A and B are shown apart, each in its own frame.
Chain A
């Protein structure tokens, strides 16, 4: 009798356990939820402090900007209702849209905008250029403020609508005035979502819910501009460190969307009829050279390396399929972007080992060891670094590949010591289109001599040409100066463009709006299901 009762209890428990659990019943919150696998773990919730893309994406979820680029790359008013400028472009007046509120129900005011812009100008390259131009801000009333420049600066709207690096997010004045020496540990924005800090599990999950205080624009969404009204009540960013598991979760329908699919999973996912694989955003592979030490302190040695680079081979080594990579991109400023130009590229378009060897001989290279930092934990960086080693060997250089994790690369690259004393000669990285597409936003073309960027590039001509480009009076002049800048960049070789590719995303076929994603960013307000 006892045995029967035990069996009955076990059967009841089993029925309860399994019966309550269809796959769909797994932890679904009420309302419409988007579950996406983010490209990285969210660690820092202050997008004004770090240029990490995951923190930038967090910024676009929680905060809003005064201006934003639309899908054609043109700056459009976002939090701003109207603006005006004087004929000499030195005096600007901005008026915020009525009714804008932070998620705690407090009004967004001119004071918030000014404090946020001051914080932004202390960190961003465009912002610093504006400071150099003598920028001053002044509140006129709670919704109106002015900006005065001592010198004309024709790219004010481009700067305020900058999509990446440090976008000019608007924070409450209280947060914006906190010291910029460490990240802000609180998030309070007027953007489309509220960050659920109580549900945040670093290393696993970040949760956002729709911000009821968000006031969308009436225009349709386009790029980062227009309405950001979300169709989802809740968005979960999952961090799944194992790519097999994230792909299996997508196949199973446990997640709706993978923001960035590793290259080796693209082909199998394309074969699955329930999944759509697309490409979004343009990325550039960078070969960063140390300009302080031989051999790459010599311009001829840098040119030799540039002459030997075969972009297609680099991208193939990184794992990207032919339809997601370009055979050759002739510009430092992203092929297909508004600043696309072929100026100065002709002499370097085809890899030429004979020319590379001749240039290397001219540089007086004496067979010094070239230390390449090879990250082992990021597969595409690993492929690119190994390709760099092979390229240098092919022109007769003495290469020393040193393997380490990416964290160690970031520490090592800051060392100015000689390569034989713990320094380095070459490391690889990548940048999204918005962090490469102009002389000011491109990390390795923007810093002037005396900069502290690892590699420490310095070319006085580039500095002069950059300043001239920033001070261009009109679009024609700006284009001419951009061409001159790029032509000089190909001669001076501050870094080497190792090719352009697109990032792959994957989503369940029931996800709509994927075609509207822009710039390789997970703009979830574009999506529905």
Chain B
């Protein structure tokens, strides 16, 4: 418990640095949201008035203090374009983002760990080579191209899944699952490649350990030996899976764009393009928070796999 508290306290300076860097990067980059909001025919006076109303004429340090002050009270601010609170915008994006992140990781774990273990067990065989060829291909082909191929194959030629859009879970498990199958497969391919290789390498290393040889000599079955080996190889795999989840929650812009999924990644990119300061600042800060928490959870999970680890 003490360890968790110490880690949580340690996140505060990290978040402070992130807040300052994000704020400065955004405000010092060229572009004027007031000019974008006012449109092509706006006069200078219109833009000046709007900047005043939005508080963009205040010194940067003052704008920073106002933002921090609001954050301290739990107010993430309001989009200067849509006038929609950032919490509402985030609320709309959390479900698609979480759905895709979790289903992608589920597909990944279910496929990648057995594949990697099998490749390690049959190292050097045809199966191992096929698995590795798949991993290299899945890594190398750009996600947008895979996305278009999936759409062409499984939405147009074989009309099994929709081309675009997200359907909320509240509208039924079937429609929900159907709407995320292609984006999740698109994303999972990269993670399957990554975790398959990671699993293969770590399991292969463990399989050469003396205790595995002993286990085999004692007559344990293949499955028991592999499970034994997997548990010992679990720490790096858990780390990769955890970071994968963090990356997916942070947003996967290309896949979200190709499949028109209203996720967190698109929210950030759209906000950056139009210089919607409150949205960018808050979403990036929260993303940093998610990374920190997931890192903590990964560290804590190590004890499940290896009781020798103490904090």
Contacts and interface: CB of A to CB of B under 8 A. Distances in A.
A52 B45 contact: no
B77 to A, nearest CB: 14
A451 B260 contact: no
B53 A411 contact: no
B41 A181 contact: no
Given A203-B270, A252-B156, A27 B175 contact: yes
A50 interface: yes
B83 A26 contact: no
A23 B178 CA distance: 10
Nearest to A165: B41
Interface string B257-275: 1111010001100100111
Q: Which of A23, A50, A165, A205 has the most CB of B within 10 A?
A: A50
B84 A407 contact: no
B174 A16 contact: yes
A476 interface: no
Interface in B129-181: 148, 151-152, 155-156, 159, 162-165, 167, 171-175, 177-179
Nearest to B171: A27
Contacts of B152: 248
Interface string A199-225: 011111100000000000000000000
Given A20-B174, A27-B167, A435-B41, A254 B262 contact: no
B20 interface: no
B232 interface: no
A55 B36 CA distance: 13
Interface in B219-267: 257-260, 262, 266-267
B113 to A, nearest CB: 20
A443 interface: yes
A453 B35 CA distance: 12
Contacts of B260: 204, 238, 240-242, 245-246, 249
A452 B44 contact: yes
Interface in B268-284: 270, 273-275
B59 interface: no
A435 B156 CA distance: 39
B60 interface: no
Nearest to B152: A248
B257 A182 contact: no
B68 interface: no
A411 B30 CA distance: 7
A407 B273 contact: yes
Interface residues of A, number: 60
B52 interface: yes
A182 B38 CA distance: 9
Contacts of A404: 30
Contact of A252 (B36, B47, B159, B274): B159
12 contacts: A17-B178, A18-B178, A21-B175, A25-B175, A44-B82, A123-B46, A204-B266, A240-B164, A249-B260, A408-B31, A414-B35, A452-B45
Interface of B: 30-32, 35-47, 49-50, 52-54, 79, 81-84, 89, 92, 148, 151-152, 155-156, 159, 162-165, 167, 171-175, 177-179, 257-260, 262, 266-267, 270, 273-275
Interface of A: 16-21, 23, 25-27, 41, 43-45, 49-52, 55, 123, 165, 179, 181-183, 185, 200-205, 238, 240-242, 244-246, 248-249, 251-252, 254, 377, 404-405, 407-408, 410-412, 414, 429, 431, 435, 443, 451-453
Given A23-B162, A245-B257, A411-B30, 10 more contacts: A26-B167, A27-B171, A49-B37, A50-B37, A50-B39, A183-B37, A204-B92, A412-B30, A435-B41, A443-B40
